[in-house]
Amino acid sequence: MDLDALYKLTHGLYILGTMDGNRPVGSVVDAVMQVANKPMVVALSCNNQSYTKECIEKNGEFSLSVLCKGVDPFVIANFGFQSGRNVNKWENVDYCIVDNMPYLNDNIAMIRCKVLQSIIYDSNTLFIAEVTDSKNNKDCEPLTYLDYRSYFKEEVMKKFQEVKQQKEKEKMAEENKNEGKHWVCTVCGYVYDGDVPFEDLPDDWVCPLCGVDKSFFELQ
């Protein structure tokens, strides 16, 4: 089978949202299409590993935020490269809750759906759902999955790495500041105070005073 042939079936790229109790969860999806207009019905396919999918199965409703071509690549990275099981993805973006469904503020259209039936495959679950509310917000060309594959993916990855590293640094700096802890050489008592975080020092780094390696340092 030639998978490249299937990549030519291109769709948009959307932020899928639903609620996990009181907590909004979400992910990036591309497999959404309208399949009827009386009633107004769409089909949505979700990966079976997706936590958002689990939550949709529980509460029977979901939201779609349609993205504009100019959307911040971080939005895709935030919703696409992490799992809602352990991260509150919505906290990292500007969003609103409308009638208990989350939407990205930077959307060009909002669509709310109620699941009518689902079909479970080994890899995916297909939800057939009725549109219960929708709002067209901006005249902007929608981002497509083809855009993502042809030029957007690299930007998304880069942005994600940047933000992740920045956050880790901030977290570490905050922790060190709050706790007033330092990496101390257990052999000679040297206190590390370099600009590079201790964890980022190369493995062959040694104590400038007594010459032992990093494993002799303790956070004190």
Q: Which residue has tokens 């936590």? A: 51
Buried residues in 53-83 as b, exposed as e (16+ CB within 10 A)? bbbbeeeebbbbbbbbeebbbbbbbbbbebe
Does position 156 interact with Fe ion (CB under 5 A)? The reply is no
Length of the chain as a residue count: 220
Alpha helices by DSSP H, listed for 103-152, are 145-147
Does position 187 interact with Fe ion (CB under 5 A)? The reply is yes
70 vs 208, which CB is nearer to Fe ion? 208
Task: Determine which residue in the list 96, 116, 210, 219 makes contact with Fe ion, applying CB under 5 A.
Answer: 210
> Minimum Å distance from CB 213 to Fe ion?
10
Among 19-27, 46-54, 93-101, 188-196, which window interacts with Fe ion (CB under 5 A)?
188-196
Q: What is the DSSP letter of 164?
A: H
CA 189 to chain CA mean position, Å: 43
122 vs 204, which CB is nearer to Fe ion? 204
Q: How is residue 154 written in tokens?
A: 């690299």
Does position 206 interact with Fe ion (CB under 5 A)? The reply is no
> Minimum Å distance from CB 212 to Fe ion?
5
Does position 76 interact with Fe ion (CB under 5 A)? The reply is no
Q: How is residue 102 written in tokens?
A: 């989350």
Site size for Fe ion, by CB under 5 A? Answer: 7
Does position 191 interact with Fe ion (CB under 5 A)? The reply is no
Report the interface residues with Fe ion, using CB under 5 A: 185, 187-188, 190, 207, 209-210
